[in-house]
Structure 1
Amino acid sequence: MNPQLFEKVDQYITHLVASEDIVLQETIQSLDDASMPQISVTPTQGKFLQLMLIMCKAKRVLELGTLGAYSTIWMTRAIPSDGKVITVEFDPHHAHIASQNIAKAGLSDQIDLRVGKAMDVLHELITHGEEAFDFIFIDADKPPYTEYFELALQLSHPGTVIICDNVIREGKILDENTDDERVKGVQRFNQMLANNPKVTATIIQTVGAKEYDGMALAIVK
């Protein structure tokens, strides 16, 4: 593999079809300024999420793992003005920065940022009879990915698209003897996905500025 080549090609694609405006650029910069990890999706992945949202005509979106709201902004820009995004962030500091970035993007009316454990928020949404979502993006802590997905199914309808990020882990998912809990989490998730009769799904490998990983894509039956 040639990571430098992957990054250059990613930059080429970004320049052509996924350029960032000042809001997105400042959102990424805000992570450094706030000593937060630079683990947002890339611009090309942000544009990919937008295309998926447009293809399924999404109006209601659920995101697990807000970080600085970079992916949140990409996705919210792809839904109609009367659409809604509920995004969940565990870390209060991250949520504070995300809220500022959402406000700068002029999207506060469309984005409902909830702070807390994703598992707790999912259970609350189910208990309160939250209307089903058209699109769900899971990009949170990896060990409970399987549980997140199964709860997300309860908040879906036939045709809901669910995308889960970081499910290849630079190929480490092939290591059956790994002691990395994140890898174990996605191994368990990938196996569940393969045997889940409620969805039609696949996994795609990705390379680029964030090197080698992958996304799981599922459509609820």
Structure 2
Amino acid sequence: MGNDLIWNEVDEYFIEKLIPFDSALERVLHVNKEAGLPEIDVAPTQGKLLYLLAKIKGAKNILEIGTLGGYSTIWLARALPEDGKVYTLEAEEEHAKIAERNIKQAGCRDKVEVIVGKALDTLPNIKEKGIAPFDLIFIDADKPNNPYYLKWALELAMPGAIIIADNVVRDGEVINETSEDERVQGIRQFISLLENEPRIESTALQTVGSKGYDGFVISVVK
């Protein structure tokens, strides 16, 4: 049995045992696929991890950089108290429209604001509007800009905030310093910033499963 098959079957086992079937979330994945969105949403086990981290943190004000169809957004929103809010940034207008419909159908409309535009253009507006500081920030957008997203995350985070970045292993390519993939180089620069940033403590988790071989960086702002 190949590793990929084993990873998928183990994912399915944990999903069956630990994540009750949720028709709203399943519908989101179906709608996203039908709309032709890239199938790059977090896996259900990863969505549940985001949910639990937000719960453990007691997060009330969350920033998500990269909405896509709103699957991870809904996981985060469900972890919030009644007065909590997720501000999620999406560069593509059509993706944002799909996400807004999905979020509404999932019953999370009052807890989510979708902000349309390139994140490096909308992040300054967030600062000006006084929406920050955030107690949890999830970075899951275009990887070449991860170094810039980290700099903004540190500026917009409160002390003790959790910062999570997805897709940091890149099927192991993260260790290839000569990679010509700008996504890999973006992650490597991101990791170098973390290495030399005294305001934050970090670790990385390699993951395998239905999304292949990848991983998260999880950080806490001092």
TM-score (norm 1): 0.97
Tell me, yes or no, if the aligned pair for 1:20 and 1:43 is still in contact at 8 Å.
no
The aligned amino acid for 2:144 is P
Q: Following TM superposition, by how much is the alpha carbon of 1:59 offset from its aligned partner in structure 2, in angstroms?
A: 0.6
1:6 equivalenced with 2:7 (yes/no): yes
Per-residue Cα deviation, 1:8-41 (whole angstroms, up to 9, x for no partner): 1011111111234111001000111101111000
Determine if contact 1:122/1:152 at 8 Å carries over to the other structure: no
**Aligned residue for 2:70?**
69
1:166 paired residue number: 167
Distance 2:108 2:94 in 1: 19
Give, in angstroms, the shift of residue 128 of structure 1.
2.8
| 1:143 and 2:144 matched | yes
The CA distance in 1 between the partners of 2:148 and 2:190, in whole Å, is 8
Distance of 2:157 and 2:178 partners within structure 1: 34
Larger fraction in helix: 2
CA contact (8 A) 1:61 1:133 kept: yes
Residues 139 and 165 of structure 1 are in contact (CA less than 8 Å); yes or no, is this contact kept in structure 2?
yes
Is residue 2:119 matched to residue 1:153? no
Alignment-derived partner of residue 98 in structure 1: 99
Query: Does residue 1:32 correspond to 2:33, yes or no?
Result: yes
2:90 aligned residue = 89
In structure 2, stretches of 5+ residues that fail to align are: none
Change in CA separation of 1:94 and 1:20 when aligned onto 2, cut-off 3 Å: farther
Q: Distance in 2 between matches of 1:61 and 1:6?
A: 30
**Cα shift readout 1:138-170 (whole Å, capped 9, x = no counterpart):** 000000101101111111111100000001100
1:35 & 1:104 partners in 2: Cα distance? 19
How far 1:120 sits from its partner (Å)? 1.1
Query: 2 CA distance for matches of 1:128 and 1:50?
Result: 26
Alpha-carbon distance between aligned partners in 2 of 1:101 and 1:130, rounded to the nearest angstrom: 23
SS of the residue 2:135 aligns to: strand
After TM superposition, the structure 1 = structure 2 runs for residues 181-220 of structure 1, keeping only pairs within 5 Å, are 181-220=182-221
Count residues in correspondence: 221
TM-score normalised by the chain length of structure 2: 0.97
Structure 2 counterpart SS, 1:211: coil
Alpha-carbon distance between aligned partners in 1 of 2:126 and 2:41, rounded to the nearest angstrom: 25
- CA deviations 1:168-203 (Å, max 9, x no partner) are 100001112111010110011111111110101111
Runs of 4+ in 1 over 2 A off after TM superposition: 127-131
Amino acid at match of 1:7: N
Residue equivalent to 1:121: 122
Q: 1:194 to 1:20 in 2, by over 3 A?
A: farther
State the Cα distance separating 1:107 from its structure 2 match: 1.1
**Letter of the structure 2 residue corresponding to residue 121 of structure 1:** T
Unaligned stretches of 5+ in structure 1?
A: none
**Identity percentage over the alignment?**
45
User: How far, CA to CA, are the matches of 2:69 and 2:204 in structure 1?
Assistant: 26
Aligned to 1:51: 52
C-alpha RMSD of the superposition: 1.0
Give the whole-Å Cα distance in 2 for the aligned partners of 1:72 and 1:87.
7
